[in-house]
Structure 1
Amino acid sequence: MPWMRRRMGYSDPSSGKDILGSRSLCFMFICAFGLVTLLQQILYGKNYIKRYLETYDRSLEFNSTTCRELRQEIMDVKVLTMVKTSDLFERWRNLQVCKWVQSKEETSNFKMSLSRCCNAPSFLFTTKRNTPAGSKLRYEVDTSGILPITNEVFKMFPHDMPYSKSQFKKCAVIGNGGIIKNSKCGKEIDSADFVFRCNIPPIKEKYSTDVGSKTDLVTINPSIITERFQKLEKWRRPFYDVLQNYENSSVVLPAFYNTRNTDVSFRVKYMLDDFDSQRSVFFFHPQYLLNVQRFWAVQGVRAKRLSSGLMLVTAALEICEEVHLYGFWAFPMNPSGVYITHHYYDNVKPRPGFHAMPHEIFNFIHMHTRGIINVHTDQCT
């Protein structure tokens, strides 16, 4: 009798069939789920290995699906404060697997915007054409200050702008950041059709392997002349000798940034004339610099003063077909998280709050991602 079996401690074997069946189904489901997961991992692993190999030899095309996704990850960061610096570094590192290619459309649109606002081929420097004798020149910062263009001042200007729109095919703009140290980019830089440099940096001997030696245009901040060469009152020959490192390059100074810069900048021209130098001396047009400042303010770069590097990059975008940047980085660590010096030749920091370097670099990263400029932060091959 069933009730007797229960009382005697026996159980009905048939009563456990449902339980055993449920357990079997559950076990089978778990096994199936595990098998699917394993297959996914195997397939993902193959893709991972493939991506690793592609990463190693940098064979991903800039417009491939993977690279478009990596580029979008950077473009999704609208402002610098949206992410941690380490996150931005990681996104930038990931993008390095992609071979950069210029976007003709993006570059053309950007150049058009610069042409409308700034027009470097006509107004980068003061010339006899854009600043006639007898006119008055308003300073960039000291806007209440006005410089009468006397015949003596006028004769220092070139007749016309020395550079035209998209005159050079490939240009290299060299920043002085520590990111370029040990890069071995010297040969690549020297292969450019036109090379810009900032503030007469050292380029000879131990530095040339990384930064090259070719120079076509170099900026000089008047503060360098004041602090290192005593306003050229006595140290004219040492300054002249420094300029010899740049062969036949032209020099450009912000003579009309404020009234203090004018006299020192003019002394550079007088000194070179006294030494019978054939080196060209140009002065930034104050209205051009003011327009550039306004242009970048709209892009989120708001500072007391734009860096010399940003000014040169802006000009290069109008007078060059393709622009490559080296030595531009505004963080104490490189993209791999390794600490670097501020400059490739020293670790002297700039005055705090004067420039907005991180925001400048952030814009460069976005422009690289859009195919407008090529920002080099890795070693050159």
Structure 2
Amino acid sequence: MCYLVLFFLLCSGTLLSITLIDYYQHQRDEFLDSVHKSLQCKRLREKLVTMTTMKQVDIGLFSQEVRELMDCPWRLNLTHRELHRTELWSCCNASDRLMVTRQNTNQNQSLTYEVERMKRKVDQALWEMLPQTVPWSKGSLSRCAVVGSGGILQNSSCGAEIDNADYVIRFNLAPINKSYDVGVKTDLITANPTQIIKGYPDLQRNPGPLAEALSVYGHAHLLLPAFSFAFGTSPCFKVYHALRKARAQQEVVFFHPDYLFELGRFWRRRGQRAPRLSTGLMLASTALEICEQVHLYGFWPFPLDLSQNTLPHHYYDSVGPSHFMHAMPEEFLLLLQLHSQGALQLHVGPCTGGSLGAGTK
């Protein structure tokens, strides 16, 4: 009987030892995998940060690297965020100068156009069109979502994440009918003068179609580049006056040309060589300055997604950008580098439904 008990004890001890060995081997393997993954992510971030151009880059290989980067854990890096925020504030000051306001502009002073450098006097009529100040107070914006219009948003399931942000910026009257992918919340929406001229040619007599188009954005501010090119001033002013009659709750505001001019110089000094920044980079820069956390969606300027499936240029149409005016791949590389540094988070591909932000370091 004693031998039988001893046999069972020995067997039990052996099984326990085997179980413990298996457990610790599994823990060791998981730890080694984690270390290997962390080193891979570190090397990938360092490689992307040191890239200087997208010219002659193999897009297939680049897409694979972006896909791998999106699988890496992202954490907000306070040092890099504050460095970029301070630099942007020092040069451009979106906190106070993104828009022309009565606070940053005096009556009878002159505004210098962003591109053509001609001047326009702020007369009584223009002064009365200006808001008192920008629509946020300093330090009031925590999480911001800047929503580009790239085809990468198709079937992304990013709508809930976007709508969970405190402040949502969209561009060029982009439709929000695919709400599961793009969300519906909108605090700031832009339109460009060419879009207004072509889409709403008779605003003075028939403002209804524009008012109806804007109604889906609720009380979002409509931001227009009235003082970038001379041809754009009149259509932007027509939008202001038309909406005053047809949709007074939709406040129309104008980009400050000094802000856009200085922002263009800022990024040119850092390697951006296109004649003009895209609206996406302009307002991603704005968000980087005024928001605690910046999340970018729909920024992907390539015709294939991360799995090499064909994409339209926009999630709502296939009309491409002006290659003469903008350099979208170069801008994307810049944003990817800011993501790699932890200054902002770039979302490319499907959203997982997690919370916006993943801690700090």
Structure 1, residues 80-126: CA drift from partner, whole Å, max 9, x if none? 23642222222211112212111000000000110111000111111
Tell me how large the CA RMSD over aligned residues is: 2.2
1:97 aligned partner: 71
The one of 140, 154, 161 aligned to 2:127 = 154
Alignment-mate amino acid for residue 144 of structure 2: C
2:216 match: secondary structure: helix
1:132 and 2:103 aligned: no
Deviates more, 1:194-203 or 1:76-85: 76-85
2:55 match: secondary structure: helix
CA spacing shift, 1:276–1:172, aligned 2, 3 Å: closer
The one of 331, 336, 354 aligned to 2:302 = 331
- 5 Å-filtered alignment, 1:263-342, equals 263-275=234-246, 277-342=248-313
Q: How far apart are the structure 2 equivalents of 1:243 and 1:308?
A: 19
The one of 65, 75, 79 aligned to 2:49 = 75
Answer whether contact 1:166 1:318 (CA < 8 A) is retained.
no
Alignment-mate amino acid for residue 131 of structure 2: P
Answer whether contact 1:324 1:373 (CA < 8 A) is retained.
yes
1:180 aligned partner: 153
Structure 1, residues 274-303: CA drift from partner, whole Å, max 9, x if none? 125122211000010001111111222222
Q: How far apart are the structure 1 equivalents of 2:326 and 2:55?
A: 17
1:213 match: secondary structure: coil
How far did 1:79 drift? 2.5
Answer whether contact 2:211 2:247 (CA < 8 A) is retained.
no
1:81 match: secondary structure: coil
1:168 and 2:141 aligned: yes
Structure 1, residues 223-280: CA drift from partner, whole Å, max 9, x if none? 1110011152444100100000101111100000121111111111111211251222
Answer whether contact 1:189 1:211 (CA < 8 A) is retained.
yes
How far did 1:64 drift? 3.6
Q: How far apart are the structure 1 equivalents of 2:247 and 2:338?
A: 42
CA spacing shift, 1:190–1:83, aligned 2, 3 Å: same
How far did 1:50 drift? 6.1
1:230 aligned partner: 201
Deviates more, 1:303-312 or 1:83-92: 83-92
Alignment-mate amino acid for residue 347 of structure 2: H
4+ runs of 1 displaced by more than 4 Å? none
Q: How far apart are the structure 2 equivalents of 1:216 and 1:75?
A: 32
2:340 aligned partner: 369
Answer whether contact 2:208 2:246 (CA < 8 A) is retained.
no
The one of 171, 176, 186 aligned to 1:215 = 186
Q: How far apart are the structure 2 equivalents of 1:299 and 1:150?
A: 36
2:15 aligned partner: none
Alignment-mate amino acid for residue 219 of structure 2: N
Alignment-mate amino acid for residue 269 of structure 1: Y
Question: Size of the alignment, in residue pairs?
Answer: 325
Answer whether contact 1:225 1:232 (CA < 8 A) is retained.
no
Q: How far apart are the structure 2 equivalents of 1:192 and 1:299?
A: 29
1:201 and 2:174 aligned: yes
1:87 and 2:87 aligned: no
2:88 aligned partner: 114
Q: TM-score, normalising length from structure 2?
A: 0.85
Alignment-mate amino acid for residue 60 of structure 2: S
1:34 aligned partner: none
Alignment-mate amino acid for residue 377 of structure 1: V
Deviates more, 1:73-82 or 1:289-298: 73-82
Answer whether contact 1:74 1:88 (CA < 8 A) is retained.
no
What stretches of structure 2 of length at least 5 have no aligned partner? Answer: 1-25, 353-361
Alignment-mate amino acid for residue 198 of structure 2: E
What stretches of structure 1 of length at least 5 have no aligned partner? Answer: 1-45, 55-59
1:35 aligned partner: none
Alignment-mate amino acid for residue 190 of structure 1: D
Answer whether contact 1:327 1:377 (CA < 8 A) is retained.
yes
Q: How far apart are the structure 2 equivalents of 1:139 and 1:81?
A: 31
Answer whether contact 1:127 1:157 (CA < 8 A) is retained.
yes
Deviates more, 1:365-374 or 1:292-301: 292-301
Question: Rg bigger for which structure?
Answer: 1
1:244 and 2:215 aligned: yes
Answer whether contact 1:226 1:232 (CA < 8 A) is retained.
no
1:80 match: secondary structure: coil
2:13 aligned partner: none
Q: How far apart are the structure 1 equivalents of 2:157 and 2:287?
A: 23
Answer whether contact 2:176 2:182 (CA < 8 A) is retained.
yes
Structure 1, residues 3-45: CA drift from partner, whole Å, max 9, x if none? xxxxxxxxxxxxxxxxxxxxxxxxxxxxxxxxxxxxxxxxxxx
Q: TM-score, normalising length from structure 1?
A: 0.81
